Amino acid sequence: MAARRYILIIAVIGLALIGKGFSDCRMRDWTEDTPQRLTAAEAIANGPGRNVHVEISDFMLSHEYVIVTIDDDDTMWIPVTTAEQAAQYVKNEMARIGTDDVNEIQFDYRPLYFSIIVRIPDGNEEDLEDVYNRELLHGFLITSTQSIGAPASKQLKKAYPSLNMKNLWVLELDRTPSGYIKIVMYFLCGLAIIGVAAYLGLRHGEKTGLDQ
């Protein structure tokens, strides 16, 4: 029984590598090696078009972020808005407390509505500091349906009740297009591992037959 389980695990690993190869191959149709430069306003209004490999400028990151933990893996999510939306937020705060001096307000930007969110897999405090110091956000800009699974979606909706998942863009931070050699290696390694699993399965079957 244990032998069958190990063989199955090996086969699943092989299938996962082949699946990764197919996924990266499909993304090649929607990416170019050179990222396109977009402002946050342009990204929200028009999306990335035929090239999801982007660099986003003129943005503002929320001071509040969420850590979603699934199967012991932590992923950080940071809402992003346009610089204009952040500026309006500051004006509203100044009007609320009745001041014309921006230095008199405690600026803690927590937008209720946003259309882009940054995804940082396996993130830590050092990663956060780096992201908050950036003038450009680089990565893949894709729809939430392509990047957010049901468990993560549920936790994000809990943190941001007004979040519209259908109109949300996800920036997969620092993701770059896979080269064709890398994609081919995924396929070859996956097929090789499945071949090993098949060989072990046959040997196990033969041994089981002999024992009987």
Over residues 69-121, the pLDDT tens digits come to 887 788 899 999 999 998 888 888 778 777 776 666 666 788 888 999 999 98
pTM for the predicted model, two decimal places: 0.77
Answer yes or no: do 21 and 92 share one domain. Answer: no
Q: Mind listing the pLDDT tens digit for each residue in 161-175?
A: 888 888 899 999 999
Q: What is the domain extent for residue 194?
A: 1-31+178-212
- Give residue 18's identity as a one-letter amino acid code: I
Answer yes or no: do 148 and 202 share one domain. Answer: no
Answer yes or no: do 139 and 69 share one domain. Answer: yes
Q: Please give the Cα distance from 48 to 31 (Å, whole number).
A: 10
Answer yes or no: do 9 and 100 share one domain. Answer: no
Answer yes or no: do 112 and 207 share one domain. Answer: no
Residues 147, 149, 151, 154, CA torsion sign? positive
| All residues at 6 or more sequence positions from 47 whose CB lies less than 8 Å from its CB, including other chains | 141, 169
Answer yes or no: do 189 and 95 share one domain. Answer: no
Residue 46 is predicted with a pLDDT of 92
Tokens of 110: 């927590």
Secondary structure class of 112 (helix, strand, coil): coil
Answer yes or no: do 58 and 138 share one domain. Answer: yes
- If we measure between CA atoms, which residue out of 121, 137, 140, 136 comes closest to residue 32? 140
9 has pLDDT over 80: yes
Answer yes or no: do 51 and 9 share one domain. Answer: no
**Cα R_g (the chain), whole angstroms:** 23
Strand partners, 140: 53, 172
Least confident span in 27-36, 44-53, 59-68, 72-81:
27-36
Answer yes or no: do 110 and 183 share one domain. Answer: no
Quote the number of domains for the chain: 2
Residue 141 is predicted with a pLDDT of 95
Answer yes or no: do 42 and 141 share one domain. Answer: yes
How do 53-57 and 36-39 pair as beta strands?
Answer: parallel
54 has pLDDT over 60: yes
Q: Please give the Cα distance from 198 to 10 (Å, whole number).
A: 9
Answer yes or no: do 98 and 117 share one domain. Answer: yes
Residue 163 is predicted with a pLDDT of 87
Q: Mind listing the pLDDT tens digit for each residue in 64-81?
A: 898 888 877 888 999 999
Q: Please give the Cα distance from 59 to 71 (Å, whole number).
A: 32
